[in-house]
Amino acid sequence: MASRFVERSAAFFPHLWTLISRPFLFLWTRLLRKGSFDSPRLPEARVIPRDQHTISRKDISRAALNVLYGLHKGGFEAYLVGGCLRDLLCGRQPKDFDVVTDATPDEVHRLFKRSRIIGRRFQIVHVRFGREIIEVSTFRAFQRDDMNDDQHLAHEETGLVLRDNAWGSIEEDALRRDFTVNALYYNIADFALYDFVQSRRDIERGVLRLIGDPEQRYREDPVRMLRAARFAAKLGFEPDRATAEPIPRLAELLLQVPPARLFDEVLKLFLSGHARASYQELRELGLFPFLFPETDLCLQGDQGETWEAMILAAMDNTDARLAEDKPVTPAFILAVLLWPVVTARLDKYRADGVPPAPALHKAASWALDQQIQHTAVPRRFSTVMREMWDLQQRLPRRGGKRADTLLQHPRFRAAYDFLLLREQAGEIRAGLGAWWTRYQQVDEQERYAMTQALGPNQGAGGDGGGGNNGGGRRRRRRRGGRSSSSNQG
């Protein structure tokens, strides 16, 4: 009877019930924590008052402030957390603002009309204000025996966390963060910073330090190793010895991570304005072979220096475009990263007597099939990559109306940039790129003169695709006469 009355009371007075029950639940969970031998000692916050830090509300987005004040007004704790505070202290403009609270996802959802709960492994709430989305998460608890309920927590034998929706306190939440530089909290109630793990000191010193036992944390979520590489590249911070040492020997744990999730991490690594530094960190920490294994094998081969020069040039090109607010596409950087694999396979098929166009098609399919086992490449990008690779065989054939036709191709510009990178790295001899550069700059009459000057073979030759000289399909005559063909190389 009593339990039924409680349920009915909660249904009729949800907000009142929350206010009444929350202090008792909080006290009860604190008592449980004190009795648990699995829980590490909780840290005390170093409170940095408003007059001792540089973070101001005028630097925080209006949407984030609305969420913070909405939670505070609803009787909940509300903090900004993580990368946004780190970036503000480093003099950078944050791309987004994350909020953390003691309210559960259901409570947050009830508080904000334009919100929705997402995620299974980690439940969070997205609150929408116009075109901006603020991510709100609940304080996370430790993985303790008393909370080992399949409804909240699931593990693999390797230590990988599969699902984790156990709620805790701000102290526990701070220890559950990955790196100290991401574990600062800004309290909307008093505008102070709450520092549990010497976050501010590490930010000022430029040190990247993992919270807790590094090996255990990497086993819980192997993607943390990629995050270590990304933050080191983005911030220019140096990982401390304890953080960096286990990564090379634990890198194979990335094989447990779904390829779709690794693809998202690859985009963050290479399309955030620090692609070259990210690539170098991945190579130094031994992570690159588990993201692009076939490419890594090519980098160890005879043409390794050439391929690395091309990859680094592509990274620099991507970083420069982002710095100038120019658009970039994942297809371009992925096409460059997989080009060594495509050309190696293409040479094998050509040696077996397969004509250039079918050989390239088979090589591209093989390279993509191998890659998606590690980092899933969506079809919308792989299709563009195939077109860019195909155009490398077609760009040398410029005679007649071919040049004008190629110029109108929707992937011409990307393929042209790709060609310039190949020449810059020394994979193919220079000259073709300069021809196409001039062709785009002159008028129609001069273009006609350029194509006429190519000679009798009409520009069918040239080293255009992975060591092949263009090549084209044979056209049969109706009556068994001699077939005419372009230069096969």
Tokens of 30: 């604190």
In whole angstroms, how large is the CA radius of gyration of the chain?
29
459 near 451, Cβ under 8 Å? yes
Q: Is residue 36 classed as helix, strand or coil in its secondary structure? A: coil
Q: Could you say which of 87, 98, 164, 202 is catalytic? A: 98
160, 264, 291: which is closest to 217 by C-alpha? 160
178 catalytic, yes or no? Answer: yes
102 catalytic, yes or no? Answer: no
Q: Which residues contact 28 (CB under 8 A, 6 or more apart)?
A: none
Tokens of 358: 């079918």
Helices 330-351 and 356-371: crossing angle in degrees, nearest 10, is 120
Tokens of 439: 């062709």
Long-range contacts for 38-44 (Cβ within 8 Å, ≥24 apart)? 38/142, 38/143, 38/144, 38/145, 39/142, 39/144, 40/142, 40/175, 40/212, 42/169, 42/171, 42/172, 42/175, 43/171, 43/174, 43/175, 43/196, 43/197, 44/171, 44/196
Q: Which helix (H) or strand (E) is 138 found in, with range?
A: strand 132-138
Q: Could you say which of 96, 146, 296, 417 is catalytic? A: 96
59 catalytic, yes or no? Answer: no
Tokens of 248: 């090379």
Report the sign of the C-alpha dihedral through residues 258, 259, 262, 267, in that order. negative
Q: Could you say which of 87, 102, 164, 178 is catalytic? A: 178
Positions annotated as catalytic residues are 96, 98, 178
